[in-house]
Structure 1
Amino acid sequence: MTRSCPACGAANEEDEDFCGSCGTYLGWSSRRARTAAPAPEVDAPARPAEETGPPEGDDAPPVPSPRPAPAPTPVAAPTPAPVAEEPPSRATPEPEPAPDPEPAPTPVPPPAPPAPVRPAAPAPVRPARPEPPVEAEPVVAVQPGVPIAQRPVVRPVAAQEETNGFPCPSCGALNRPGRKFCGRCATPLHPGEQAEPLPWWRTRWPFDRKVRAGSGRLVRGSVLALLIVGLLIAGFLLVPAGRYVIEDVRDKLGDTGEISPTGVTASAATAGHPAKLATDGVTNTYWGAPKAGASLTAEFEKPFRLVGVTVHTGVSTKPEAFQKGARPTQADLRIRTKDGKIHEKAWSLTDKPGEQTVRTGISDVVSIEFVVREAAGQGGGRPIALGEIEYFKRT
């Protein structure tokens, strides 16, 4: 005989406790085959074994309670309703056929009451006869339960206080020798000495960068050294240009002062208007040049840094008197230094009264020559008037 697994429906032998396909325990749903018992004697004829309803069990459909028959007339058993088929996954053992009883006359049975209809349930069946007692199920083995380990019990233990050791500088707790941090507050027990402050130049970029192995310190040092060497070479080759830039900045930022020449001479002059009248400090007197090409030369006692030259052209600074005399409009400055070198500078003058200044920026000047190149208002034999000329040095 075989029995089906209630989980997967696989067939298994009767003496097997676990399914061979899925391993499900088969002892919970197994029952031994019921032993057939002789049918009790009743007035109604016995039904054949095929009409007997399915045995009661865990998987049998519910059976309604039997209805009593009328007292005067014996009621024959109604026609058995079709037995609901059980799912293939829960097969029940077939009962053994009972011996056929002798046929007996049966009265005409009254119409049977209609069977109650239940949704989603098998059709009701005829009340079955009381079944013989079923033997108790055998005691079978079960799977043991999983043991649960008991949780450990934490027992408070008093902390052992150190009786000797190094005291913590923060909380005062004693710590055993060899510890580096306090066991209570984690404060360093032996803080190192404070590092000495770095020199000021180590706090400036790029010297303030921390150096570690393989960080490119050699490369940066080499580049810095090459840059310094290049600046030195460039400064050596460009000394004149660098010096000129430095001196020009000093001229613009420093103070200036007027310097008077030790002697003034002219290549030519008209009567009553000598060369010294161009440096007397007033503008209503003037040096009169008879024609273009005449020059005025000023000599100085010591070399100095010439910052600029200022002139007042014309016979007067008043506009109505300025137009009555001739005045220079184009001139050249010839500046000689103590080494004998002459610096020439062209100067275009505005034909209007007032001072006009030109910046020079020449060092070690010893003499300055003012040469008239062009003039305006020369008609009628009027001389070319230079009212005043001033020289400024750096102080």
Structure 2
Amino acid sequence: MTRSCPACGAANEEDEDFCGSCGTYLGWSSRRARTAAPAPEVEAPAHPVEETGPDGDDAPPVPSPRPAPAPAPTPVVVPTPAPVAEEPPSRATPEPAATPEPEPAPDPEPAPTPVPPPAPPAPVRPAAPAPVRPARPEPPVEAEPVVAVQPGVPIAQRPVVRPVAAQEETNGFPCPSCGTLNRPGRKFCGRCATPLHPGEQAEPLPWWRTRWPFDRKVRAGSGRLVRGSVLALLIVGLLIAGFLLVPAGRYVIEDVRDKLGDTGEISPTGVTASATTAGHPAKLATDGVTNTYWGAPKPGASLTAEFEKPFRLVGVTVHTGVSTKPEAFQKGARPTQADLRIRTKDGKIHEKAWSLTDKPGEQSVRTGISDVVSIEFVVREAAGQGGGRPIALGEIEYFKRT
């Protein structure tokens, strides 16, 4: 007979306690059952034990099962000795006859030692018969009162376990722990569940089998089809959402990278201006100092910076006015409203309006535009104009993501 493993369903023999494929406990087999030795019978005493009280008197009788009457003793017949006739006193007691002397032996042999005659046997006195002790009468047994008797509880007969001859394996792989022979093809011992081939290593699972929900061991009909369908629908939905939301998703990802990553200043390869005043060319706006400036004659003038390679523009910083000192800052004209025209390598232009505060110091704006090749700064409004004073842009800086 065989029995199936409750975990993996592999077939195992009846006399095996553990599964040979996965080592799961199958329950104790009937091969090693042994019958219990019968309990020795205790022979009841032939006569009840009499108990005595503390004063030597007989204790009240204890009710006990009445023993069977013992067989009557067989009378012993003692033979009466016959009377011995007495002889008259005048007659003498006859003397015993003399023992004849042995004949002399030849000279080479020594003479034998004379043997005395045997003594007459002593008269046997009959033994007195043993006195017979009269039997003690048993006390009367009081009759038990008649009461209601409850119905008896049936007692189930205890099962008798018969030993079954173990079917020893004649060939197979011995267990390294208990030495039991196991049939070929088993992975675990049928008696103690010890791995039979500990040196063998299972093949590693692919990486996707170690991730949820593929890392679960399921049986057929346990909802695997439903989970697979739900997972497929989820993947299709993510693909559709990604296709429709690529621009927005990419913008969010790049913005997070801009905020978490480092930035560095990038210098343009060339700077041009649509209009300038004498002594204040366009290149002074990118020379790295704030005490020189590009002078725009009127609003509407623009400053354009060109770059050699496309880059991710993170932000732009400007210093307005002729100086960073407050007393000198108020003496010159400075821009208060400007536009940024950012062109990418695909020819697309991104426009961004920028409101500047009328105070000395740096002012920055975040952009977050990829593949930038040129940036144009256009002056829209200015403060402090009059007397032919130019609109001063002290310094402009461009920053990229590193």
TM-score calculated relative to the size of structure 1: 0.53
Paired residues of 2:329 and 2:360 also in contact (CA < 8 A)? yes
Query: Which whole-Å CA distance do the structure 2 matches of 1:243 and 1:10 have between them?
Result: 53
Query: Which whole-Å CA distance do the structure 2 matches of 1:301 and 1:166 have between them?
Result: 76
Q: CA, structure 1 residues 203+114, in 2 after alignment: closer, same or farther (shift >3 Å)?
A: same
Q: CA, structure 1 residues 271+211, in 2 after alignment: closer, same or farther (shift >3 Å)?
A: same
Q: CA, structure 1 residues 76+29, in 2 after alignment: closer, same or farther (shift >3 Å)?
A: farther
Cα distance, 1:299 vs structure 2:
2.4
Paired residues of 1:35 and 1:95 also in contact (CA < 8 A)? no
Paired residues of 1:38 and 1:98 also in contact (CA < 8 A)? no
Query: Which whole-Å CA distance do the structure 1 matches of 2:106 and 2:48 have between them?
Result: 9
- Partner of 1:379, secondary structure, is coil
Question: Could you report, residue by residue, the CA deviation over 1:155-206 in whole angstroms, capped at 9, with x for unpaired residues?
Answer: 9999999999986543457899999998997868899976444333322211
Question: Could you report, residue by residue, the CA deviation over 1:27-65 in whole angstroms, capped at 9, with x for unpaired residues?
Answer: 999999999999999999999999999x99999999999
Q: CA, structure 1 residues 264+25, in 2 after alignment: closer, same or farther (shift >3 Å)?
A: closer
Query: Which whole-Å CA distance do the structure 2 matches of 1:294 and 1:168 have between them?
Result: 94
1:343 aligns with 2:342: no
182-191 vs 268-277, which deviates more?
A: 182-191
Q: CA, structure 1 residues 69+18, in 2 after alignment: closer, same or farther (shift >3 Å)?
A: farther
Q: CA, structure 1 residues 355+173, in 2 after alignment: closer, same or farther (shift >3 Å)?
A: same
- Partner of 2:50, secondary structure, is helix
Larger relative CO (CA 8 A, sep 6+): 1 or 2? 2
Q: CA, structure 1 residues 114+222, in 2 after alignment: closer, same or farther (shift >3 Å)?
A: farther
Q: CA, structure 1 residues 127+26, in 2 after alignment: closer, same or farther (shift >3 Å)?
A: farther
Q: CA, structure 1 residues 214+107, in 2 after alignment: closer, same or farther (shift >3 Å)?
A: same
Paired residues of 1:332 and 1:346 also in contact (CA < 8 A)? yes
- Partner of 2:371, secondary structure, is strand
Cα distance, 1:207 vs structure 2:
1.2
74-83 vs 334-343, which deviates more?
A: 74-83
Q: CA, structure 1 residues 126+329, in 2 after alignment: closer, same or farther (shift >3 Å)?
A: same
- Partner of 1:380, secondary structure, is coil
Q: CA, structure 1 residues 100+73, in 2 after alignment: closer, same or farther (shift >3 Å)?
A: farther
Q: CA, structure 1 residues 389+199, in 2 after alignment: closer, same or farther (shift >3 Å)?
A: same
Q: CA, structure 1 residues 223+107, in 2 after alignment: closer, same or farther (shift >3 Å)?
A: same
383-392 vs 266-275, which deviates more?
A: 266-275
Query: Which whole-Å CA distance do the structure 1 matches of 2:120 and 2:395 have between them?
Result: 155
Paired residues of 1:331 and 1:373 also in contact (CA < 8 A)? yes
284-293 vs 258-267, which deviates more?
A: 258-267
133-142 vs 84-93, which deviates more?
A: 84-93
Instruction: Show the counterpart of 2:9.
Output: 9
Question: Could you report, residue by residue, the CA deviation over 1:202-242 in whole angstroms, capped at 9, with x for unpaired residues?
Answer: 22211112211221111111111122222222222333223
Paired residues of 1:76 and 1:106 also in contact (CA < 8 A)? no
Q: CA, structure 1 residues 273+227, in 2 after alignment: closer, same or farther (shift >3 Å)?
A: same
Query: Which whole-Å CA distance do the structure 2 matches of 1:50 and 1:14 have between them?
Result: 58
97-106 vs 325-334, which deviates more?
A: 97-106
Query: Which whole-Å CA distance do the structure 2 matches of 1:307 and 1:7 have between them?
Result: 60
Query: Which whole-Å CA distance do the structure 1 matches of 2:372 and 2:39 have between them?
Result: 158
293-302 vs 123-132, which deviates more?
A: 123-132
Cα distance, 1:246 vs structure 2:
3.2
Q: CA, structure 1 residues 381+212, in 2 after alignment: closer, same or farther (shift >3 Å)?
A: same
Paired residues of 2:266 and 2:400 also in contact (CA < 8 A)? yes
Structure 1 vs Structure 2: percent identity of aligned residues?
97
127-136 vs 155-164, which deviates more?
A: 127-136
Structure 1 gap ranges (5+) = none
Instruction: Show the counterpart of 1:219.
Output: 226
Query: Which whole-Å CA distance do the structure 2 matches of 1:35 and 1:303 have between them?
Result: 92
Paired residues of 2:48 and 2:64 also in contact (CA < 8 A)? no
Instruction: Show the counterpart of 2:94.
Output: none
Question: Could you report, residue by residue, the CA deviation over 1:255-298 in whole angstroms, capped at 9, with x for unpaired residues?
Answer: 43322223322222222222221112211001122222222122
- Partner of 1:49, secondary structure, is coil
Paired residues of 1:335 and 1:369 also in contact (CA < 8 A)? yes
Q: State the Cα RMSD in Å.
A: 28.6
TM-score calculated relative to the size of structure 2: 0.52
Cα distance, 1:251 vs structure 2:
2.9
Q: CA, structure 1 residues 12+336, in 2 after alignment: closer, same or farther (shift >3 Å)?
A: closer
Paired residues of 2:17 and 2:29 also in contact (CA < 8 A)? no
Paired residues of 1:44 and 1:74 also in contact (CA < 8 A)? no
Query: Which whole-Å CA distance do the structure 2 matches of 1:93 and 1:144 have between them?
Result: 96
Paired residues of 1:311 and 1:387 also in contact (CA < 8 A)? yes
Paired residues of 1:44 and 1:106 also in contact (CA < 8 A)? no
- Partner of 1:50, secondary structure, is coil
Instruction: Show the counterpart of 2:138.
Output: 131
Cα distance, 1:343 vs structure 2:
0.7
244-253 vs 212-221, which deviates more?
A: 244-253
How many residues are paired up? 394
Query: Which whole-Å CA distance do the structure 1 matches of 2:35 and 2:271 have between them?
Result: 163
